[in-house]
Chains A and B, each alone.
Chain A
Amino acid sequence: MKCASLGAALLLTAVAGFQPAFGQTLKTVQDRGVLSCGVSQGLPGFSAPDDKGNWTGLDVDVCRAIAAAVLNDPTKIKFVPLSAKDRFTALQSGEIDVLSRNSTWTLSRDTSLGLNYTGVTYYDGQGFMVRKALKVNSALELNSASVCVQTGTTNEQNLADYFKSNNMKYEVIAFATADETLKAYESGRCDVFTSDVSQLYAERLKLAKPDDHAVLPEVISKEPLGPVVRHGDDQWFDIVKWTLFAMINAEELAVTQKNVDEMAKSNKPELKRMFGTDGNLGEQLGLTKDWVTRIIKAVGNYGESFDRNVGAGSKLAISRGLNRLWNQGGIQYAPPIR
């Protein structure tokens, strides 16, 4: 099943002659009229289909924002659900235009995988979930435990590092998809389920009795999650990067989905630059002057998207924490639009 998509992707790389060059991705997407966006196979809060089959989530909002900026229509997206194992191959081979799928930014992914991370949508870290019945209060009490993990993630390596540096033994059972991993944990095959903390909260909701399970306090790694594009097309890299920055800047300037039309008429210089009433910043990206207006109309600013999908306004109810803006005690910070 997995090998089929992988094989197809490989064949694409080899035969179709996909050669990204400056400006080509934007042209391809606009000619096609649809943005092909790689997402998860269903991670509530980040990318998951709702009960009507519409994809929603923080990562999905990035796709919608890009589609709004590039195609002027946040619904013209083909969502491609990918497992952790297949996601980068799909991007390398050109099967998707952008990967927005809770993927950790690391050096090797930025270099030898031939990819470019465009920013951070969510500052995360890896944690552990256990059954409350085990009466474990700290990850340091997990010696000799069996741990379920999804293969092809940074979690797999962090796990090895953490247990090794704390001189603990463990048994790792690695599964191809998040669902298989969770099922094995729920059936009792493993004592511990490990992944990024945000994902732990999301996956916990899928369990039959979420309250029987607890997330341990330790966060053992840095997991900056963000959208990814492939090497070779700097214009596309800029567009994806600045779409996210526009959402973050909008929050900083208090531009929301509701007041965007009003704010667009503002005389404040930074708002004028942002909404294109002054200068041609959007055109420099290869888009139109009102690119930010379209983005904010489609998904709102970063804070709105966060609250709606993973924060206070969602079932996950994760606190903003590190993901607050830099001037509110967090580390979310976007370069200025000028």
Chain B
Amino acid sequence: MTQVATMHPSVEATESPLTPESWGKLGMWIFLIGDAMTFGTGIAAYGAIRYGSADWPVPSNVLGIPLTAFMTFLLICSSVTMVLSLSAIKRGDQRGLRNFLLLTILGGLIFLGCQAYEWNHLIFHRLPEKGFSFTGHLFATTFFVLTGFHGMHVTGGVIYLSCIVIQGVRGRYSAERYNPVEIAGLYWHFVDLVWILIFTFVYLL
């Protein structure tokens, strides 16, 4: 009886407001809205510091645009594979779910690898060359805070998606029960969305 109730949320006595499918989805949205505030405040503070600085460099002269453009492309691709894995399990396609999730995780891992390379290159070569040491200029500090906070989110996302793929291999999801995949997807797309903003405000603008 309880199983029937969970499989058909519409018959539950207390339906989640705003997201009738599940409470978990509402919970993820609340978390993401809070997280968006944190990132938004970070980007606003970055703008404030930059506007008040007299010797801010043009970011594209210091930072590597081609590599980060590739990283943007990578995250967009991994977002696409994430929605494809969700649409696979909605059709009951277990193999599609697993393969697309693994591709998404691979995208996240390559992204992190690129970021590790980028940081290493910036800290030891590029920034000293241009006269902005790791700790010596707010240009470097704000850059590492924003991209580092985002990188931590990608790391968290890779761990999160790995848990989902393990559950998927164990056959926990089906065409009737795909909600956890959708919720994990919300988080992953949010990380992609934040990168789109960081790429624009920190690298291009």
Partners in one complex: no
